[in-house]
Structure 1
C-alpha cells in the first residue's frame, strides 16, 4: 500500500511502529515457559518423547525458514506475520486440549511453522516502514526496543505461568493462544510498507538471496557468527532447568529466575546500539562469545545459585546481538530479498542447534550435565572468537555497493 505525501508516511510509520511493538509483546507471552516439561510429564510422556516433540518444532522451523522469507518477499510481510500468529495460536490450543502424541506433534509443528513465518519477515516489515519515510538510521533503536517488548512478554508471562499452572497445567497454553490472537489483531492494524515488489518466481528470489550471500562478505560473516552463538545458546538453554535443580533451587522460583534473566535481556536489547557504540565494534563482537561461554564453564565446574546469576551474561548476548545482526543485514540487502536473507540467518541458527543438540545431548546422557555444559562453553568461546575475526575484518572494509544487491546474478 502506497501512502503519498508526508502525512501518509507519518501515518504509516507511526501505526506500524506501534503495531510492531505490540506484536512482539503479545506474540511472545509464553505463560508455559516455566512448566512446559512438567506439562508433558503430567500427560505421561517420557523425556525421550518430550525431546522428540521439540525436535519436530525445530525441524519445521528449519525447513520452512527460507521458504517463508521468500513468500514474505513475494506477497508481503504483514500477511505472513498474521499467518504466523494464527498458526501459533492453533498450535497452543492443540497442545492444551490434545489427548495424545499425534495432536502434540501437530501442535509443535504449527509452533515451528509460526516461528519460521515470523523470523525475518518482522524485521523486514519495520525496516521497509522506516525506509519509506527516510528513517532507516533509526532501525537499530526501533528493533532493540521491539526486542525489549519481546522479552518483556516472555518474562512477565513466564513469571505468572508457574502460579497459573497450579490451577491448571493447560491454562498457560490457552492464555498464550489468546495473546497470540491479540498479536494477529495488532499486526492487522498495520499497513503493508512500500518496497520493491518481487515479480520473479520464488525460485528466482531464492537464487537472488543466495547471490547476495555469495557476493556480500559482511552479510555472510554476521550470519555465520550469529548462527553459532544463537544455536549454541539454544542448546544450553535446554539444560537450564536441570541445572537449577542441581543447584538446589526450589521449583517455585524458576519463573522468578526466568523473569530476571529476561529482564536483563530486555534492558540490553533496548540499549543494544548504545552498548555496541560504547564498546566499539571490534571489542563488542569479541566479547560476545566470551560472555556466552563463561557461564557454561562455571556450570560445569560448580552447581550453585551463583551459576544462575552468571547466566545474565547470556541475556546480554541475546538482547544485543539480534538488533545488530538484523541492522547490518537490512542496510546491506535490497528490499526485494531482505526477508529471505534474514530467514537464512534464522535457518543457520536452527541448523547449529540441531547438530549441537545431538552431540551435546548425547554427551550429557553418557557423561553427565556438568561435563556437557563445560564442553559447550569451551566450544562457544573458541568457535565464536574464530567466527568473529572475519566479521571484524569485514567491518573495516568499505560497504558493498547496494545497487549490485538488487540484481546480484
Structure 2
C-alpha cells in the first residue's frame, strides 16, 4: 500500500481546515440568539432557513464548481461568509438574522463538496487514491483543532468583553487568511473543465449531468449518501443543545460562584469545547484505525451510525434525570462519532463515483444532510418549547431509530 507524503499542499489543506473552523461564534451561537431575545422556536426556524437555503444551493453549487473552476467557487464562498459575519454583528432581531443565515448557507453550499473534491483529485494525481480515509482524516483533524482553539479564544473574548456579538468580527480575520491560502492552490485542482477553458460550457454541463444521473442509479451510492448524510444532519440539528446544558451546569456549579453567570458559562464552554474538539481532532486522525476494527467500511458506517443514535438517547435520559455531567459527556460523544465516521463515509462515496462529477455528488451528500437538519431543527426546538430539551432530544432519537432500517448499508458486497 502506498503512503502519502506530507508535502507543501498537505499543509495547505490542513491550514485551510484550521482557519475555516476558527468560527469564534459557533460555541456561543445558540446563547447569542437567546440573549438577543429569541425563543427556541424562532431559533429553530433560523436554523431551518439556513439548512433549506443550503439545500437549494447545494447541487447548483456543485455543478458550478465542476463547470467554472473550484478555486473561483471557494473564493466566492469565503467572500459570502465574511459578508454574513458583518451582518450578524449589526443585526439584533429575528428578521434581521434571516439574511446572514442565508449567506452562511450559500457559503457552505459553495464550499462543502468543492474542497473535498480538490483533496481527492490531488490524491489521485499523486497516486495516493487508496489513502483517502487516512489523508482526509488528517486534514479534518486540523479542522477540529481549529475549532478547539476557536472555543478558547472566543471564551476569552466573551469573558473580557461580556458580550457575544463581538466574536463575529473576530471571525473575519482567519477567513481573509484562508482566502489567501486558497489562492495559492495549484491550478490543476480547478477541475476538468477549468483545466480545458476551450471546452464548450453547455456541452460540459450536459456531460456532468449524464454522469451524475448514471451514478445515482447505483443503489449503493444512494444508501451510502443516506447513511452518511442522515447522521450528519441529525448531529447538526442537535449539536448546539450542548450549550444550554453547559450553561445549566455552570450556573449549578459551586466553582467560581463569585463571577456573573455569563462569565462562568464562557469559562466552562471555552474549556469544554477546547477539550472536546481536541479529542475530535484525535478521533479524525485515527479514523483509519477505527476502520481497521471492522471487516469493511459498510460495517464501520452502520455500527457508528447506531452508536451515535444510542449515545444521544442515553444523553437525553441522563438530562431528564438531572445528571448533567453524564448528559454532557454522552452528548460530546456524538461529536466524536461524527469525526470517526466522516472520513470513512466520504471516502466510501468517492470510491463509487466518477472523479469528474465528484464535487456535484459530494454536494448532494451535503444537500441531503441539509434536508435532514432542516426538518429536524424546527421539530426539535418546537418540542423543546413544549416539553423541554430532554424530552425533545429523546423524541428526535426515536425518529432516528425508526428511520435507521432505511439507510443502513447492506452488508453483502464489495467496498
Q: TM-score range by the shorter chain?
A: 0.7 to 0.9
**Shift in Å at residue 242 of structure 1?**
2.8
Note closer, same or farther for the CA distance 1:359–1:52 as it changes in structure 2 (3 Å cut): closer
Aligned to 2:111: 118
1:128 corresponds to which residue? 121
2:278 maps to what in 1? Answer: 263
Residue 148 of structure 2 aligns with which residue? Answer: 155
* Aligned residue in 2 for 1:196: 192
Which one of 267, 283, 291 corresponds to residue 276 of structure 1?
291
Is the Cα–Cα contact under 8 Å of residues 92 and 177 in structure 1 kept in the other structure?
yes
- Return closer, same or farther for 1:357/1:106 CA change in 2, 3 Å cut-off: closer
Is 1:348 equivalent to 2:368 in the alignment? yes
Judged with a 3 Å threshold, the aligned counterparts in structure 2 of structure 1 residues 316 and 158 are, in CA distance, closer, same or farther, namely same
TM-score by length of 2: 0.84
Deviations 1:281-313 (A, max 9, x none): 254223212321223222332222011112242
State the structure with bigger RCO (CA 8 A, min sep 6), 1 or 2: 2
Equivalent residue in structure 2 for 1:360, among 376, 380, 386: 380
Superposed CA offset, 1:130-183 (max 9, x none): 211222122222211111111111121012212202315332111111111111
1:339 aligned residue:
359
Correspondence 1:241 to 2:243 = yes
| Cα drift, residue 201 of structure 1 | 5.0
> Please, what TM-score do these two structures have when normalized by structure 1?
0.86
Moved more, 244-253 or 316-325: 244-253
Aligned residue in 1 for 2:213: 210
State how far apart, in whole Å, the 2-side matches of 1:99 and 1:380 are. 34
One of 72, 75, 79 as aligned partner of 2:68: 75
Is the CA contact (8 Å cut-off) linking 2:17 and 2:140 kept in structure 1?
Answer: yes
Q: For 1:187, which of 182, 185, 190 is the aligned residue?
A: 182
Question: Do the aligned partners of residues 326 and 172 (structure 1) sit closer, same or farther apart at CA in structure 2, a change above 3 Å counting?
Answer: same
The equivalent position to 1:171 in structure 2, one of 166, 169, 193, is 166
User: Gaps (5+ residues) in structure 1?
Assistant: 1-9, 400-409
Contact preservation (8 Å) 1:31, 1:157: yes
Query: 2:236–2:373: 8 Å Cα contact kept in structure 1?
Result: yes
What's the Cα RMSD here?
2.5
* CA distance in 2: counterparts of 1:239 and 1:274, whole angstroms: 30
Tell me, in whole angstroms, the C-alpha distance in 2 between the residues paired with 1:136 and 1:24. Answer: 20
C-alpha separation in 2, matches of 1:336 and 1:41: 44
Does residue 23 of structure 2 align to residue 27 of structure 1?
no
- The 2-side partners of 1:89 and 1:298 are apart by 38
Task: Give the 3 Å change call, closer, same or farther, for CA 165–71 of structure 1 in structure 2.
Answer: same
How many residue pairs align between the two structures?
384
Asked if the contact 1:289–1:381 (Cα under 8 Å) also holds between the matched residues in 2, the reply is no
The alignment partner of 2:365 has SS state of helix
When residues 100 and 246 of structure 1 are mapped into structure 2, their CA distance, relative to the original with a 3 A threshold, is: closer
**Partner of 2:221 in structure 1?**
219
Helix, strand or coil for the counterpart of 2:362? helix
Which among 280, 289, 299 is matched to residue 305 of structure 2?
289
How far residue 43 of structure 1 moved from its aligned partner, in angstroms, is 4.1
Query: C-alpha separation between the residues in 2 aligned to 1:26 and 1:118?
Result: 14
Q: Is contact 1:289-1:380 (8 Å) kept?
A: no
